[in-house]
Each structure stands twice: as structure tokens, then as C-alpha cells.
Amino acid sequence: MTSTDTAPSDSRVALITGASGGIGKAVAERLAAEGYAVAVHYAGNQQKAETLAAAITAAGGRAIAVGGDVADETAMAAAFDAAESAFGGVDVVVNAAGIMILSPIASLDLDDLDRMHRTNIRGTFVVSQLAANRVRAGGAIVNVSTSVTRTQLPSYGGYVASKAAVEGLGLILARELRGRDITVNTVAPGPTATALFLEGKSEELIEQLAGMNPMNRLGEPEDIAETVAFLAGPARWVNGQTIFTNGGMA
């Protein structure tokens, strides 16, 4: 299969990590609406993942819930196995699982740093490594970073360090997959109205962050899912890129 005869979306299969909520959930819903069979991955919230998979199935789509720690290669290999067993293969992998703990660098608890790096760096690496060996020709790997790698907001140091590593990983993997007809890209959302982002923030701070782009609002998970869907399917000539999806935030 070449980039000119990529399979239609109704025959494609996507595995989305962190799909029980936030951006991952919106991606699963968007790809399912476009005809993809989706493996809805969860780490800790099985009920939410199963509810989403059931809702997609009830609407006429194809979905299963798959669990596992993204940083555990055995658990994630089993998640790929489940998707392949249910749907015949995997064409698209979206690394949406992530955690964010904010603190000035000078006072960040190193255990918190290790937690972020285990999920955000090792988790993305483990899933990307599996994807590199198992995604079918014509497929796509989409990682999720953050626009804060460019805006340098205080208190985001540990989180940005982990996400900058995600961007670097994608750049290299895209080139290592030469000849495989698999694209690798990274989406870097700006402030987006998810539980991960909103937790612990005052209304004043949220309003301030929403005003950082000329659209004068927070992004919605569906805004990010739109870009992911583009990279997952029709964007065959976009490869090895980081797409800042933030409404024009400087």
C-alpha cells in the first residue's frame, strides 16, 4: 500500500492511549465517527473506557476497551494484541496518555518528576516502539505534546521537559520508518478545557490563559481531535512535524 491508496477510514483501526477522558476521549469519538474501529485505552478508569466503547458501539461503530500502564511494555503489547484480535490489525496509534504536575523547578518533588517522565516519556516511547513494529503500511503514529514547550510558562518546567522529549522522539522515529509508509507527527495543544488542565486553577488564571490566543477562548478537546484526525488519515504528506494547535497562541 502506498500513500496514494491508503485504506478508507471505515477499514482502519486506531488505538488511542488515555482515551477514557479529555483529549483522548475526543479523539476516540472523532475517529469512530469517521468510521475507524477504535481501541479505547485506559490506565486506571476502566469504567469510563468501557462506557465510551459501549456508546460508540451503540451508535453503530466498532470499539473495545483495552487497559494497561503505558510504560509497561508487556501490558501494552497485550493491548495491541487485543486490538489486532478484535479488528485484524492496527493502522493508527495516538499517544494521548499523559500527566501534568506543576511546580517551580527549584521546588518540584523529584518523585513527581519521575511520575511524569514515566508516563509522558517512557509511556510514549513504549507505545511508539510497539507501533513502529506493528502499525500497518499506510498508517500513522500521532503523539501529544504541549504548546508550552514554546511559551515557557513558569511552573511547567518538569512537564515541558517530558513533552520536549516526546517531540524529539517523533522527529527521529519518522525518519527511522523510512520506506514503511507510516507517518509520525506530534500535536502540541495550547490551553485546552480538560480536567487535566483545569484542575487547581482559579477562574482568573483560566481567563488569563484563554486570552493568550487571538480567538480569546480555551481550546476544546474536539479542536485537538480535529487535528489528530487529519494526521491520522488524509495528511500523508505531513510527516516528522510538530503541529501547534492552539488558536494562534504566540
pLDDT of residue 3: 42
> Domain limits of the chain?
9-191+221-243
- Alpha-carbon distance values, 142 to 113, 127, 149, 208 (Å): 24, 11, 17, 29
Question: Are the beta carbons of 95 and 14 closer than 8 angstroms?
Answer: no
Q: What are phi and psi of 143, to 5 degrees?
A: -100, 165
pLDDT of residue 4: 42
**39 vs 29: CA distance, rounded Å:** 11
Whether 184 shows a pLDDT value over 60: the answer reads yes
How big is the chain by its Cα radius of gyration, in Å? 17
The DSSP symbol for 65 reads E
Q: Return the exposure string of 179-206: e unless at least 16 CB atoms fall within 10 Å of the residue's CB, then b.
A: eebbbbbbbbbbbbebeebeeeeeeeee
Task: Give the class (CATH, top level) of 9-191+221-243.
Answer: alpha beta
Q: What are phi and psi of 9, to 5 degrees?
A: -60, -25
Average pLDDT of the chain is 94
Instruction: Among 38-47, 190-199, 239-248, name the one with the lowest average pLDDT.
Output: 190-199
pLDDT of residue 115: 97
pTM for this structure? 0.94
Instruction: Among 2-6, 161-165, 208-212, 243-247, name the one with the lowest average pLDDT.
Output: 2-6
Nearest by Cα to 116 from 131, 96, 102, 95: 102
In the residue annotation, 36 being an active-site residue is answered as no
Whether 61 shows a pLDDT value over 60: the answer reads yes
Segment 100-126 mean pLDDT: 97
pLDDT of residue 24: 97
